[in-house]
């Protein structure tokens, strides 16, 4: 029986043996949207008034306990009842309310559980507050109830990092009352029935003092966290204040403070950018053309290559839990692959990122061979050779005859001609590009580009494998450069043009680091190597700088000189530009008739960001990406673009298409590189923005 007309398929009500069982049934994740909140409130009220019910059990169908509100609701006015209202109603219930938690109780879902009087969790459950990753704080009492149970340290660890606790750690911290190994529903019902029969009273979390009993220690934790809070974003200092309030002010006052902090933060540009990034990544996971398509089973993975990329791809595949074979013929480097993987996994163990048992398990699944026939049992074979079309085609020709029927062959390439490669592999329906971005051990981005004739199941298989490897896959059309390389080329080209207009490499790098980039564009090129960055596309740059640097063998850190000078055997960065590079830049400026020296940081950032947005507009217009926000995901995951900014397409929306087009047109007088993509004209004429195109 349901909880009312609005909650007909949202919350089921069942009373038996003195227990009112309230089951949230709102797939896929039982999000606490307004209809669910209303139905749950009605169900709790009904149980409260039901003379046959002595206790209440709140549980959920499907894969998880209720999760928080939809992120898209954050900026809207929450419909009644709010989650805070629901939590207060549950906490005030005169009958004991037990939460049975499975899956993930995150954000609002954990706030719901905290409002219950007792909490049981399945051993596989995870509990956490990810709100800080969206630039906000909890808004239904989480910052006030959590510290009362677990104290300041655990509360701040959870709230300021967004990292969840597993059930065992949550139990040890006092967040839950019992860990259930098997049948959670049976354990939850039995607990509720016993509580009802025994007359166990409610235990409102607001009245618990276990976590605040040691006031001095509590305040010492607050003081220590406050010293570093301002460096961790806008939400963290507010969280420290709110956890302090849980000790010092009445519960209702703490709730008011929490709500005020939420309202301040949710309307900040930082939170809007973080929410855009979150939604963009979630949106990128949806590929309409693959709806209803089942991936093929993957029981073994093969990797072709012997260099750093092959090593990193192999380690990611091992982490996905399948046996991996790395093979390459006629290359002595293949004999060193196992040693390098062992060394990398050993370093992960020493750093505490991996257990010794996990390392040993992964190594037991690794095979390295100098015979390509060792790849014959693989369900997916990934070519991780360098970007050399002739060599790739030669090896894929051999692999195509070795691979078992139905195996998917993928090539990690963005620049080689895919038609040539697919003809070599000789299995069009089972071939696609799967471009890993270096350094692939740390970079999460993977571009997947099916060719004409690739079976949907093959594409779906590569997407699922990429996710199992801990990667963020983006599906793109098979065009030269795919998405990442084209964006990076535009970004580095814009940066080079700023040098020709009078900026220094130091000023450009500093301006982009101040935005939040991990490295400036010239620092990044020196680290990667200018031969690797520009070797295949230096002629595409509108500035002569890359060509001239390659001609002089100024490759970056590896050669001792790039945009900066590096000293000693360890190639220590000096942060100084060489006299030769300075003379070259002066000459280029003189040729262009530029006498200016210097450029304001705001101008540098604007040029670099609008170059990215303009290239993104071209990618959208050409159908290389499905939506503008995919461009943002590529920059976020591939180049470390600051999440708080959301991405270049979001920043262009904030600037406005009309203003962007005007700036590009003005700069196009200097260089045709800045010519606005035609999409800007359509956006201006229709009054639309990129965000409107993301909704399709």
Beta strands of 399-552 (E only): which ranges?
A: 408-411, 431-436, 445-450, 472-475
C-alpha distances out from residue 503 to 466, 508, 518, 588, Å: 40, 7, 20, 12
3-class DSSP assignment, residue 566: strand
CA pair distance 209, 44, nearest whole angstrom = 26
The β-bridge partners of 382 are 303, 410
Catalytic residue among 111, 234, 258, 281: 111
Strand order in 165-166's β-sheet? 104-106, 126-128, 165-166
C-alpha distances out from residue 323 to 305, 341, 371, 666, Å: 16, 14, 17, 56
The most distant pair of C-alpha atoms in the chain lies apart, rounded to whole Å, by 91
For residue 352, report the phi and psi dihedrals to the nearest 5 degrees. 80, 10
Strand order in 178-180's β-sheet? 11-16, 19-24, 55-60, 97-101, 118-122, 178-180
279: its two tokens: 């939604």
CA pair distance 431, 418, nearest whole angstrom = 9
CA pair distance 573, 565, nearest whole angstrom = 6
- 111 given a catalytic annotation: yes
558: its two tokens: 């590896």
Among 74, 46, 70, 237, smallest CA distance to 159 is for 237
- Backbone region of residue 592 per phi and psi (left: phi > 0; alpha: psi in -120 to 50; beta: other values): alpha
3-class DSSP assignment, residue 529: coil
3-class DSSP assignment, residue 368: strand
Residue 525 in contact with residue 563, Cβ under 8 Å? yes
Catalytic residue among 73, 123, 131, 258: 131
For residue 381, report the phi and psi dihedrals to the nearest 5 degrees. -120, 125
CA pair distance 284, 631, nearest whole angstrom = 10
- 131 given a catalytic annotation: yes
Residue 321 in contact with residue 345, Cβ under 8 Å? no
Q: End-to-end alpha-carbon separation of the chain, Å?
A: 37
Among 277, 275, 293, 238, smallest CA distance to 260 is for 238
Q: Please give the DSSP secondary-structure letter assigned to residue 295.
A: P
Query: b/e string for 19-52 if b means 16 or more Cβ within 10 A?
Result: bbbbbbbbeebbbbbbbbbbbbbbbbebbbeeee
Signed CA dihedral, 436, 438, 442, 443: sign only: negative
3-class DSSP assignment, residue 119: strand
Among 63, 53, 57, 68, smallest CA distance to 25 is for 63
CA pair distance 216, 344, nearest whole angstrom = 44
Q: Which residues contact 74 (CB under 8 A, 6 or more apart)?
A: 134, 136, 266, 271, 275
For residue 24, report the phi and psi dihedrals to the nearest 5 degrees. -80, 125
Residue 271 in contact with residue 265, Cβ under 8 Å? yes
Query: Which helix (H) or strand (E) segment is 122 a member of?
Result: strand 118-122
Active-site residue numbers?
Answer: 111, 131
């Amino acid at each position: 029986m349901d909880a009312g007309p609005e909650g007909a398929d949202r919350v089921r009500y069942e009373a038996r043996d003195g227990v009112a069982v309230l089951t949230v049934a709102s797939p896929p994740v039982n999000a606490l949207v307004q209809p669910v909140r209303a139905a749950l409130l009605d169900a709790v009220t009904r149980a409260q008034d039901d003379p046959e019910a002595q206790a209440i059990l709140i549980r959920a169908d499907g894969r998880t306990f209720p999760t928080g509100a939809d992120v898209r609701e954050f900026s809207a006015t929450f419909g009644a009842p709010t989650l805070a209202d629901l939590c207060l109603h549950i906490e005030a219930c005169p009958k004991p309310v037990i939460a049975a938690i499975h899956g993930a109780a995150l954000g609002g879902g954990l706030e719901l559980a905290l409002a219950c009087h007792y909490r049981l969790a399945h051993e596989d459950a995870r509990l956490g507050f990810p709100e800080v990753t969206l630039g906000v704080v909890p808004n239904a009492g989480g910052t006030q109830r959590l510290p009362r149970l677990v104290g300041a340290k655990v509360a701040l660890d959870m709230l300021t990092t967004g990292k969840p606790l597993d059930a065992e750690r949550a139990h040890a911290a006092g967040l839950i009352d019992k860990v259930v190994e098997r049948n959670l529903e049976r354990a939850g019902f039995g607990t509720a029935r016993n509580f009802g029969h025994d007359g166990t009273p409610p235990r409102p979390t607001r009245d618990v003092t276990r976590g605040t009993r040691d006031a001095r220690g509590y305040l010492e934790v607050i003081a220590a966290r406050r010293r570093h809070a301002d460096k961790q974003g806008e939400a963290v200092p507010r969280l420290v204040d709110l956890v302090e309030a849980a000790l010092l002010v009445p519960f209702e006052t703490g709730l008011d403070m929490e709500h005020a902090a939420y309202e301040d933060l949710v309307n900040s540009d930082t939170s809007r950018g973080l929410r855009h990034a979150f939604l963009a990544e979630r949106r990128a996971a949806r590929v309409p053309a693959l709806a209803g398509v089942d991936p093929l089973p993957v029981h073994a993975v093969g990797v072709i290559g012997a260099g750093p990329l092959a090593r990193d791809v192999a380690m990611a595949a091992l982490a996905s839990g399948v046996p991996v074979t790395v093979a390459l013929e006629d290359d002595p480097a293949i004999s060193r692959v196992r040693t390098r993987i062992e060394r990398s996994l050993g370093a992960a163990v020493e750093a505490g990122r991996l257990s010794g048992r996990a390392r040993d398990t992964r190594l037991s699944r690794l095979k390295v061979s100098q015979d390509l026939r060792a790849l014959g049992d693989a369900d997916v074979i990934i070519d991780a050779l360098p970007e050399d079309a002739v060599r790739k085609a030669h090896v894929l020709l051999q692999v195509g005859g070795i691979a078992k029927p139905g195996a998917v062959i993928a090539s990690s390439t963005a620049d080689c001609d895919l038609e040539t490669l697919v003809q070599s592999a000789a299995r069009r329906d089972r071939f696609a590009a799967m471009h890993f971005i270096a350094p692939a051990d740390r970079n999460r981005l993977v571009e997947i580009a099916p060719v004409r004739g690739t079976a949907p199941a093959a594409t779906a298989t590569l997407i699922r494998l990429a996710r199992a490897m801990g990667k963020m896959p983006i599906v793109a059309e098979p065009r030269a450069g795919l998405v990442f390389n084209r964006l990076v080329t535009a970004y580095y080209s814009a940066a080079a043009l700023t040098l020709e207009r009078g900026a220094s490499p130091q000023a450009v790098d500093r301006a982009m680091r101040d935005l939040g980039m991990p490295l400036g564009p010239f620092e990044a090129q020196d680290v990667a190597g200018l031969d690797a960055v520009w070797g295949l596309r230096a002629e595409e740059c509108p500035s002569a700088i890359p060509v001239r640097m390659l001609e002089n063998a100024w490759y970056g850190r590896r050669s001792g000189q790039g945009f900066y000078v590096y000293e000693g055997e360890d190639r220590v960065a000096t942060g100084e530009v060489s006299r030769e590079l300075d003379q070259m830049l002066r000459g280029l400026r003189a040729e262009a008739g530029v006498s200016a020296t210097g450029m304001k940081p705001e101008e540098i950032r604007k040029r670099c960001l609008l170059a990215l947005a303009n290239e993104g507009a071209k990618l959208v217009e050409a159908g290389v990406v499905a939506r503008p926000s995919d461009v943002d995901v590529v920059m976020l995951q591939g180049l470390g673009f600051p999440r708080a900014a959301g991405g270049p397409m979001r920043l262009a929306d904030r600037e406005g298409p009309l203003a962007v087009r005007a700036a590009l047109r003005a700069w196009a007088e200097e260089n045709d590189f800045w010519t606005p993509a035609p999409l800007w004209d359509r956006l201006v004429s229709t009054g639309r923005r990129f965000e409107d195109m993301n909704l399709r």
